[in-house]
Amino acid sequence: MKVTESIPISKRGRSKAENPSTSVSSDVSSTRSTDSRSSNIARSSDSSVEVIDSSETKPSRKRKNDFDSPEISQRLKLGGSMSSSGSRTDIELDQDLTLQGSPSLRRATMIGRNYKVLFTGYQNEKDNHIVIDLGGEVLDDSMEEVTVLVTDKIRRTVKFMCAVARGLPIVSDQWLLQCKSAGMFLDPWKYILEDRESESKFGINLKRTLQQAVKAPLLTGLSIHVTKKMNPTPDQFRDIIESGGGVYLRSPPSAPAEDTYVISSPEDRASVTKFKKAGLKVMDKEFLLSGILKYRLNHKLQI
């Protein structure tokens, strides 16, 4: 599944408490102190979390290590596995899900995997090199392969929303710095991103949401159609819906069903009127976007 090019989400006001504002103004900035690494960082231009997705272009790179490498020897002693060709055997994400309740078992499993890291919201060549030097892979936009998402704050990009929906660990660059110091990949669940200001604005607890999503994807059992005049686009919504375990419907549903929804906006009056007359449940986009961040769908968000 490929994440499509970034398109900003239009901001919408809310009149009710259950419809929180989904925009964060440009004064929400990174509080990270400036250090010697800052000169190597190229921030994306998104001043608000109301962005789907920031444009980042980094080639997918991977370094293969020999059995004789001290770095590999150290990881093998900690439970990693190696194929006969010399490349580290990838451990499927589903195996980690059963270990979520056991930190020690989860940590052993995570150490043994081939990390595939995706960045969103910023670019830093030094961080890329840390991943590669530790034997991992820097991905460009493949959400099907990613195992860890690195960012600097909570931001509503396609990559971020897909990672939340899948229950992937979302970390800051502090995880990479600690991995570099240790000379190996550490358990990313111990370095989940902390962004109290954005969590307060969105009314979420990121770590709790991720822990819930990894146990049971929020959209499992739901079938969802997205009308054409939407921002984010239907293709971007497809990535998010499928990441959350839902079924994306390219064509509108032919009849009402309990677990079938249409995502639209008041601006698309013709579609909204048509689908409501057909008895379909037509929901505002925040039914999905805010719902995924909170791990709670608000069925009052009908149009």
Tell me the pLDDT of the chain averaged across its residues. 74
Domain shared by 207 and 248, yes or no: no
Is 19 a residue whose pLDDT tops 70? no
Domain shared by 79 and 141, yes or no: yes
pLDDT, residue 86, reads 36
pLDDT, residue 142, reads 81
In this predicted structure, which of 48-52, 108-112, 164-168 has the lowest mean pLDDT? 48-52
Q: How confident is the model at residue 138 (pLDDT cuts 50, 70, 90)?
A: very high
Domain shared by 204 and 224, yes or no: no
In this predicted structure, which of 34-43, 153-162, 185-194 has the lowest mean pLDDT? 34-43
Domain shared by 181 and 56, yes or no: yes
More confident residue, 24 or 102: 102
pLDDT, residue 1, reads 53
Contact criterion met (CB below 8 Å) for 41 and 87: no
Find the domain containing 196 and state its range: 40-212
What span, in angstroms and rounded, lies between the C-alpha atoms of 24 and 11? 9
Domain shared by 46 and 182, yes or no: yes
pLDDT, residue 229, reads 86
Domain shared by 50 and 198, yes or no: yes
State which of 166, 188, 212 marks the end of a domain: 212
Question: What are the strands of the beta sheet with 281-284, ordered from one edge?
Answer: 247-249, 223-226, 260-264, 281-284
Domain shared by 225 and 271, yes or no: yes
pLDDT, residue 33, reads 39
The total domain count for the chain is 2
Domain shared by 187 and 62, yes or no: yes
Is 77 a residue whose pLDDT tops 60? no
CATH number at residue 230: 3.40.50.10190
pLDDT, residue 136, reads 96
Domain shared by 121 and 178, yes or no: yes
Let me know if 48 is exposed, middle or buried by CB neighbors in 10 A (0-12, 13-18, 19+).
middle
Calculate what percentage of the chain has a pLDDT beyond 70.
Answer: 63
pLDDT, residue 295, reads 97
Does residue 6 fall inside a structural domain? no
State which of 171, 196, 212 marks the end of a domain: 212
Average pLDDT, stretch 284-296?
Answer: 97
Side chain identity, residue 115: Y
pLDDT, residue 88, reads 31
* pTM tops 0.75, yes or no: no
Q: How confident is the model at residue 231 (pLDDT cuts 50, 70, 90)?
A: confident
Is 93 a residue whose pLDDT tops 50? no
State which of 168, 191, 212 marks the end of a domain: 212
pLDDT tens digits for range 99-127: 344 444 444 445 546 899 999 998 889 99
Side chain identity, residue 176: L
Angle between helices 286-294 and 234-243 (to 10 degrees): 30
